[in-house]
Amino acid sequence: AQSVTQLDSQVPVFEEAPVELRCNYSSSVSVYLFWYVQYPNQGLQLLLKYLSGSTLVKGINGFEAEFNKSQTSFHLRKPSVHISDTAEYFCAVSAGAAGNKLTFGGGTRVLVKP
């Protein structure tokens, strides 16, 4: 079975500052990694995903993430945040195939302050 740990439950950050959200996973088989964003009372929107190839993945809204197999991490970064980035962010993993069921981390709430 796989598991996902998001080390920070909340991350306050000032507007235009960089942000990094940490995600670590464990799995006994090959994994596919995802970051999703959730705005209040809404579903999840895919930010980016790692399936194979380059370990640096670029997503929407200026986000990027780096897959580090040796550290079993998939941290999400953005060099300059906006107020509109205030949301809940979830790291997720599927094992064996990209379309298998997802296991989510606990989520990280990003609060961007003016």
Partner 1 sequence: GAVVSQHPSRVICKSGTSVKIECRSLDFQATTMFWYRQFPKQSLMLMATSNEGSKATYEQGVEKDKFLINHASLTLSTLTVTSAHPEDSSFYICSARVSLSGGMFFGSGTQLSVL
Q: Which stretch binds partner 1 (CB under 8 A): 12-20, 22-30, 35-43, 71-79?
A: 35-43
* Residue recorded with tokens 């970064």: 77
Residues 78, 64: Cα–Cα separation, whole Å: 6
Q: What single letter denotes the amino acid at residue 112? A: V
Are 10 and 111 in contact by the 8 Å Cβ rule? The answer is yes
Can you tell me which of 3, 26, 30, 45 binds partner 1, judged by CB under 8 A? Answer: 45
What is the size of the binding site for partner 1 (CB under 8 A)?
Answer: 24
Answer yes or no: are the C-beta atoms of 102 and 94 closer than 8 Å. yes
Residue among 78, 56, 51, 84 at smallest CA distance from 68: 56
Kindly state the smallest distance separating residue 105's Cβ from partner 1, in Å: 6
Applying CB under 8 A, among 3, 42, 71, 84 the residue interacting with partner 1 is: 42
Q: Is 46 a residue that touches partner 1 (CB under 8 A)?
A: yes
Determine if 5 is a binding residue for partner 1 (CB under 8 A).
no
Residues in contact with partner 1 by CB under 8 A are: 34, 36, 41-46, 49, 51, 90, 94, 97-107, 109
